[in-house]
Amino acid sequence: MLDDIENGLVGTVIVKDQSRLGRDHLETDRLMELFFPLYDVRFIAVTDGVDSARGNNEMSTLRNYFNDFYARDTSKKIRAVQRAKGERGERVGTTIAYGYMKSPDNPKQIIPDPETAPIVKQIFEMYASGIGIPTICATLEKQQVVNPSVYDFRKHGRHASGLNPDRPYHWGQTSVRKMLSNQIYCGDTVNFKTYSKNNKLKKRLKNAPENVLIFPDTHEPIISRRLFELVQKHFEGRKRPDKFGEMDKYAGYLYCAECGARLYLHRSRNSDPKKNNFMCAGYQKRTTDCTSHYIRESVLDEIVLGQLRQMAAYARENAEEFYAMAVQNGEAEAKKFYAAAEQKREQISKRISVIDTIICTLYEDRVKGTITPERYEMMAANYEDEQAQLKADCQELTAKIEKMDMREKYVQEFIEKARSYIEMPRLTPELLRTFIRRIEVFEKSKKYSRTVGNTIVIYYTFQMPQDGKVMSEDENAETTMVSAD
């Protein structure tokens, strides 16, 4: 309409009332007082009794302000309702992730879509097996799998951004990358990942991690939690595939034992895989005073595969002894952890209760006039921030306790999978995912030596993490001296 006015195609604009022209009082005032007169356009608002041909209406500006205020007030109320829903663990997003559909029995609940859920699972398994995102997209296109935007358009008639019906089998790398990082697929509801500053700014901004609410196990998962965590480990490492579209299989597993940085793969320039090697990221980027920790990929493959064969064979042939050894090794550390964790959780709960009491007392003092409203707002905000941090710490502690409780389950899974993988001809991303949690590489005891090798420590999946490290005794950590050459 504004373009037509500028081109002289419109002489009169008629609306029911001023709110139909706009609720942003600044923009609406500009149109009525500057833009329309500039192009000799007559403006009529029927129910408000406004007609620019009869001169300016003194109440117009005031009406525009109240229209703006009404929109702001409505937005505030809707935000409050959405916040309450999100804090209860209900989904607050309007779109349903690819792979899910609304439950016929309960529209608030989502269930796996039988048509698309297998595709999501296939994408996760392909990426976890070391296949890069470009190759995944090419594979789906070759299989003639309809992409999410076209599928949604065909089934529901919705026009998503980037929709191109002429290329129904074209998968974008961004779509796959977002899918692989979406926690909804392991059964969790994640609310408030983004936010907008106010009702006039429509752009969505990424929320701070502490403001994101996660509710685990709210619906049926498409993939296992372990598979999701594995994919996130790959995301943390270098994600650049080689010319064959394959990822570094050690991404997310290989660490420097001295500085804790990752070891990144350096591929040979002449495409000779025997010369591929790993180096410490701290040394490369000069972020630490670490050394290179140079080790060839072929040497590492040989050592890791050899140790993995031995451990799996022992678990397969001596299942009872292996179970007793694996559970007993972490028992002392587990008892210490449980005792400390329960004590800390009790302290946090007490402090949260104390803060509730303090805030109530402050409010009473404000009502009585003992403290000023400004002073109350400042003090209450500080206590609420502390309480929010305590609640986050309590959730993190609970998650660690739940992981500790899974120790015996992981040992049993290790034994069962050891029985499945009798032959291990070569080291694959699937074997790493199944049996290994972390690998640490030490520097050679004699730098630049061609006879002295690196010390490599392998931590298996039945060993539980603690504070970001793997908790284990020496019996569980396979230490091997190897030569880098």
Q: Residue 471 carries which DSSP code?
A: -
CB 103 within 8 A of CB 402: no
Q: What is the DSSP string of 233-258?
A: HHHHS-----TTSB--TTTTTEEETT
Question: Both ends of the chain: CA-CA distance in Å?
Answer: 74
CB 310 within 8 A of CB 359: no
Burial class (CB in 10 A: 0-12, 13-18, 19+), 99: buried
Distance CA 438, CA 190 (A): 28
Which residue is listed with tokens 């730098």? 447
CB 456 within 8 A of CB 442: yes
Q: What is the pLDDT of residue 12?
A: 94
Q: Residue 191 carries which DSSP code?
A: E
- Helix (H/G/I), strand (E/B), else coil: 361: helix
Burial class (CB in 10 A: 0-12, 13-18, 19+), 94: exposed
Q: What is the DSSP string of 2-34?
A: HHHHHTT--SEEEESSHHHH-S-HHHHHHIIII
- Output the CA torsion sign for 158, 163, 168, 171: negative
The Cβ of residue 107 has, within 10 Å, a number of other Cβ atoms equal to 8
- Helix 117-128 vs helix 133-142: angle between axes, to the nearest 10 degrees? 140
* Per-residue pLDDT tens listing for the chain (485 residues): 999 999 999 999 999 999 999 998 889 999 998 999 999 999 999 998 889 888 877 788 889 889 998 888 888 888 888 888 888 888 887 788 999 999 888 888 899 999 999 999 999 998 887 788 888 999 999 999 999 999 988 888 888 777 888 888 999 888 899 999 999 999 999 998 888 888 788 788 888 888 888 888 889 999 988 888 888 877 766 556 655 556 788 888 889 988 988 888 888 777 677 788 899 988 888 888 888 888 888 889 988 998 888 888 888 888 888 877 776 655 556 666 777 877 888 888 888 888 888 888 888 888 888 888 888 888 888 888 888 888 888 888 877 776 666 666 777 778 888 888 888 888 888 788 888 888 999 988 777 666 677 888 888 887 644 433 333 333 333 344 444 44
What are the CA-CA distances from residue 466 to residues 228, 323, 327, 337 (Å)? 19, 20, 16, 9
What are the CA-CA distances from residue 25 to residues 19, 75, 341, 376 (Å)? 9, 16, 55, 33
Burial class (CB in 10 A: 0-12, 13-18, 19+), 406: middle
Q: What is the pLDDT of residue 343?
A: 83
Confidence (pTM): 0.59
Q: Residue 145 carries which DSSP code?
A: P
Bridge partners (DSSP) of residue 194 are 206
